[in-house]
Structure formats: C-alpha cells, structure tokens
Amino acid sequence: MKDKWALATKIIHAGHIKDSSGALVAPLCQSATFVFDSAEQGGARFAGDETGYIYTRLGNPTTAELERKMAVLEGTQAAVATASGMAAVSSALLANLSHGDHLVASKAVYGCTFSLMNNQLSKFGIAVTLVDFSDPQAISKAITPQTKVLFCETPVNPHLDVFDLDEIVAIAKKHGLISIVDNTFMTPLLQQPILHGVDLVVHSATKYLNGHGDVIAGVICGTSEQIDKIKFETVKDLGGVLSPHDAWLILRGLKTLDVRVERHCDNAERVVEYLLSHPKVIKVHYPGLKGSKGESLMGKQMRRGGGVIAFELDADLKASIAFVNHLQLFSIAVSLGDAESLIQHPASMTHATYDIEQREAAGIGESLLRISVGLEAAEDIIVDLEQGLAQV
C-alpha cells in the first residue's frame, strides 16, 4: 500500500492480500478453528514461536483483513476488531486499568459508555471522574497519582460538542497517561486522532464503517504492542470477538465509505441551514458552526462536520415527542450512519442510563433530539422535518 495514496483509495485497497484462488473480493473464512499439520506445529503456534491461525477467537483471515485496513485508515500500526462498539470501549479501558486505578472521562458520553463507567468499573475497584473536556484546567484538576487513562468522544454523543485533541494529548503526555478517543461520529475520513498523538482510537463499526445497519461491531486502533495486549489478553479472555461474517460485511460496506460520508455531510449541511432558520428550533448542535467552540477545529482537526445533528425545540417533553412521532421519512431508531435517516430522543433512549441531574450536568435536555442524516434526497429530508415542525 502506497502511503501517498488518498484515503478514498486506501479504503478500497488497504489490507487486502491476494487470495490463492484469485478472488477479487476477500473470501469469507467461516471457520471456528484451524487445522495444524502436526502437534508440534500446534504447540509452536500456541507458544508464539510460529505465526498462523489457531482459533477464530484469537484471529481469523477475514477479520484480519478488516483489522489491517482499519490500521491503515487510522494511521496506526495495528487494530483489533470486536463484537460491538461497547466491546471496543470496554476492552480498551480494561486493558489499561486495574484495581486502584483512576479514569478521567468526558462528562457527556454515549449512554452505555456512561453506564460502564458509572456502574461497572467500580466493581473492579476503578474510580472514575467525569469532567468537561473542553476545559483543560478541569481535566488537569481531576488528575490524581492514581489516574491512568483519559477518555473522550469528539464529537460527543449526543450533543456534538467537540474537543481539541492537541490540548488533551498535551495533558496526557505531561502526566504519563493513556489517551483514548472514540472516533465513531467522524470516521478516519473526517478526523484521525492518531495524527494528534492520541494513543488508542475506538469505533463502533456498527455505524458509518459498515453503513448498512446490519452489523454490530467495534474496532480499536493503536500500536502493535498496545493492540497485542488488548487482543491476546483482554478481548481473548472476555470473548468480545467479531464474527468472520460480520467482518466480511464491514469490508463490503467500507468500499463505499468515502462516497457515503460525503453525501451524509452534504445532506447534513443543508439540514443544518434549514434548522438554523426555523423559529421553533432554539438551538442547533453541529461541529464547526460559526461561533461554536468547534469552529476553530475545522480544517485543523476535522475535515467536515459529519452526518449527525442535534437540535433543541422550543417545546416541552410532550411536544418534542409528538414531533418525533409525526415524522414520516425519518425512522425512530437509535444508531447512526445508515442509509436511512434516523431520529431519537436521547434523554429517554440512548442516554436513559443518566439520571435527571446527570443529564442536566451533561447538557442533555428533554427537548434535545438527535438525527442521523441519511442518504435520501436532502430536499425530502427537509420536507419531512418541515411537516413535523408544523405540528409543534
């Protein structure tokens, strides 16, 4: 793979090893285990003295192609695929945190990530402090001698705040911490955290990487040393391994990632323009908006704003829910990055794991709605929003 090739080219060609049959498309290796030529060979592979496949929980040719491709796209040495985005998040954290350690994370994160941090890590004796990652002083103040990891999403799920990765990495390096960034909303096409010094990048591959709403998967990208530790210790022992068939589906979906992301961004920008002008919309959240915290990061950290928009209605909870129910083209569903436009109500859906006070602290109000702008004609998406807003 030539480094000078554009990401749009690498998306299609990176990671592919010519199959002995000459197949253009990577074959699906739907096998749980692999046969050794001899008992000695099996022992050598388990001992690490010989490379080769043993058992799909430890590696599989189809999954390996996806991992090679994602490492190239994120600009890392290696990657490991997991059974879900949450398997990626939990494996990346548990590989770097032990009993007595401390994690500092953004106060607003995906609901299940919040639940993992708020309800599960304490069972292992891991302390968690949630702070505003747009405030470097707040991050630094939260760090203790026991702190080992900084974790954030940027843009944040669900209200799309963005953080300066250079500032976060500078703090992490100053204190000798591991930095982990969830890059799901941006994909490697719009943002590459590794270029800013981030240690590990995680994705819910369920979303844009697959792009067709038919796979649950995750990916972690980092150095070979980091990924070997995560893959052959944490993922292996916890078992959150991606199936070869799902890896094959993501490989197929990735081939159109570049054209899909461009269309998602084009449509989202038109929808943002419409929402900003509507009198019943009191606030629009979208990366890079003029006057927003993230405006200065466009071009420096992010190439475009992505396909997810959050907005707040001049309405109470009941009216906000009624608006959602009046939409016709939008599907009421969580997730994002699909061909179809989706809408959901974070406070009662994806972020229901937060209590009321926690939601308020994280900026997740009752009238906040999140849409994943699909690949339909932008004018049809806007017409559907218009008829829905007319009911508010």
Angle at 294 between CA 291 and CA 297, to 5 degrees: 120
Domain coordinates of the chain in residue numbers?
A: 7-254, 257-389
Write down the pTM of the prediction: 0.95
- The Cβ of residue 252 has, within 10 Å, a number of other Cβ atoms equal to 15
Q: Which residue has the tokens 């994120």?
A: 74
Nearest to 181, CA basis, from 173, 191, 189, 171? 191
Cα separation, 263 vs 269, whole angstroms: 10
CB of 162 closer than 8 Å to CB of 297:
yes
Q: Which fold has domain 7-254?
A: Aspartate Aminotransferase; domain 2 (3.40.640)
CATH class (in words) of the domain with range 257-389: alpha beta
Amino acid sitting at position 379: E
Q: What is the pLDDT along the chain (392 residues), one digit of tens a residue?
A: 557 899 999 999 999 988 878 888 889 999 999 999 999 999 999 999 999 999 999 999 999 999 999 999 999 999 999 999 999 999 999 999 999 999 999 999 999 999 999 999 999 999 999 999 999 999 999 999 999 999 999 999 999 999 999 999 999 999 999 999 999 999 999 999 999 999 999 999 999 999 999 999 999 999 999 999 999 999 999 999 999 999 999 999 999 999 999 999 999 999 999 999 999 999 999 998 988 888 999 999 999 999 999 999 999 999 999 999 999 999 999 999 999 999 999 989 989 889 888 888 888 888 999 999 999 999 999 999 999 999 88
Tell me the angle at which helices 61-74 and 244-254 cross, rounded to the nearest 10 degrees: 40
Tokens representing 102? 């401390």
Cα separation, 29 vs 308, whole angstroms: 34
Cα separation, 382 vs 334, whole angstroms: 20
Contacts 24+ apart (CB under 8 A), 16-22: 16/65, 16/69, 17/65
pLDDT of residue 368: 94
Q: Which of helix, strand or coil describes residue 229?
A: helix
Q: Which residues of 259-296 are buried (b: 16+ CB within 10 A; e: fewer)?
A: ebbebbbebbbebbebbeebebbeebbbbbbeebebee
Tell me the catalytic residues. Answer: 57, 110, 182, 207
pLDDT of residue 124: 96
Cα separation, 70 vs 58, whole angstroms: 18
pLDDT of residue 2: 59
